[in-house]
């Protein structure tokens, strides 16, 4: 990046380090940090939507919807995360290709399942082989977001379902006594009240989601851990202009600082949100605030 980096053998000290930390591979590391942050920014609200839909379905008076909501929550929560990550990335990819195959190649006569192989027409492949690299990376990122959202949406559904049940029944009955419909009671009374009870559980889920981002490598995305291991391994002068010993400890120490800093910032933000939600509420948090102000 710098003009003086053209001859690495002549560099020493901070100049050598500045050139080393701005190599192409290190740019890949910095991009992976942004990838993780974008993944979290997208996955959190999508997983919350999945969870809200599943929790609402689990409370439904319609039996099939109730079974669907409870079944989704129970199945995902009962299987190890890594197994679901391995399953969904394949199932979603093949599912999308199967739908495209039905639309783009209706005259296809051969079976799609041929032993252990999944064979679709060339036009149905995702992404297409001639697509640029950024399309392949975007598609892998999309699968990662969807997989994370499905898995963590089930945990969010369990938290939200419990929060909905924690809202005092008397408040719902009062709303009904004032003539509100079931839909109005749900959106105007239950949903606003439940966030106070749901936030502690959602806060823990957010922390778990942050710690789960290293699983991105299972979904074909080059994440922070991948680059830390790649860059920290021993390099000699035969294969690189910046030879060094085994520096993985320092790279993983940097990851430790990154994750600890990120979780600490998250704790501060979530604590402020919790104080705002519980202000004036008839909850333990609200009672603690009233005593502190007295």
Burial 285-294 (b: 16+ CB within 10 A, else e): bbeebeeeee
Closest by CA to 45, choosing from 148, 193, 189, is 148
Count of structural domains, the chain: 1
Burial class (CB in 10 A: 0-12, 13-18, 19+), 245: exposed
Domain that holds residue 42: 3-293
Coil vs helix vs strand at 114: strand
Q: Are 144 and 221 in contact (CB under 8 A)?
A: yes
Asked whether the predicted pLDDT for residue 53 surpasses 90, the reply is yes
206 vs 107: which has the higher pLDDT: 206
Mean predicted confidence (pLDDT) in 98-126: 81
Mean predicted confidence (pLDDT) in 147-168: 90
Which pLDDT score, from 0 to 100, does residue 47 have? 94
Question: How confident is the model over 273-283, as pLDDT tens digits?
Answer: 888 777 655 55
Which pair of structure tokens corresponds to residue 162?
Answer: 């419990």
- CATH number, domain with residue 102: 1.10.3720.10
């Amino acid at each position: 990046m710098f003009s003086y980096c053209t001859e690495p053998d002549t560099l020493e000290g901070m100049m050598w380090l500045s050139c080393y930390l701005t190599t192409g591979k290190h740019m890949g590391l910095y991009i992976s940090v942004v990838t993780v942050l974008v993944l979290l920014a997208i996955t959190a609200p999508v997983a919350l939507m999945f969870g809200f839909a599943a929790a609402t379905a689990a409370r439904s008076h319609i039996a099939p919807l109730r079974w669907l909501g409870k079944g989704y929550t129970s199945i995902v929560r009962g299987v190890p995360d890594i197994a679901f990550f391995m399953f969904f990335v394949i199932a979603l990819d093949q599912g999308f290709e199967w739908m495209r195959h039905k639309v783009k190649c209706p005259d296809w006569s051969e079976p799609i399942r041929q032993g252990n192989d999944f064979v679709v027409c060339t036009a149905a492949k995702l992404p297409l082989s001639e697509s640029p690299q950024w399309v392949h990376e975007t598609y892998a990122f999309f699968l990662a977001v969807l997989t994370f959202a499905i898995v963590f949406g089930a945990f969010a559904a369990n938290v939200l379902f419990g929060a909905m049940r924690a809202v005092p029944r008397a408040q719902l009955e009062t709303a009904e006594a004032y003539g509100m419909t079931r839909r109005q009671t749900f959106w105007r009374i239950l949903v606003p009240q439940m966030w106070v009870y749901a936030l502690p559980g959602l806060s823990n889920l957010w922390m778990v989601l942050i710690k789960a981002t290293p699983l991105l490598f299972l979904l074909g995305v080059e994440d922070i851990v991948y680059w830390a291991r790649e860059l920290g391994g021993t390099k000699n002068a035969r294969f690189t202009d910046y030879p060094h010993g085994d520096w993985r400890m320092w790279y993983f120490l940097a990851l430790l600082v990154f994750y600890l800093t990120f979780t600490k910032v998250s704790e501060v933000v979530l604590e402020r949100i919790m104080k705002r939600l519980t202000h004036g509420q008839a909850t333990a948090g609200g009672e603690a605030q009233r005593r502190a102000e007295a």
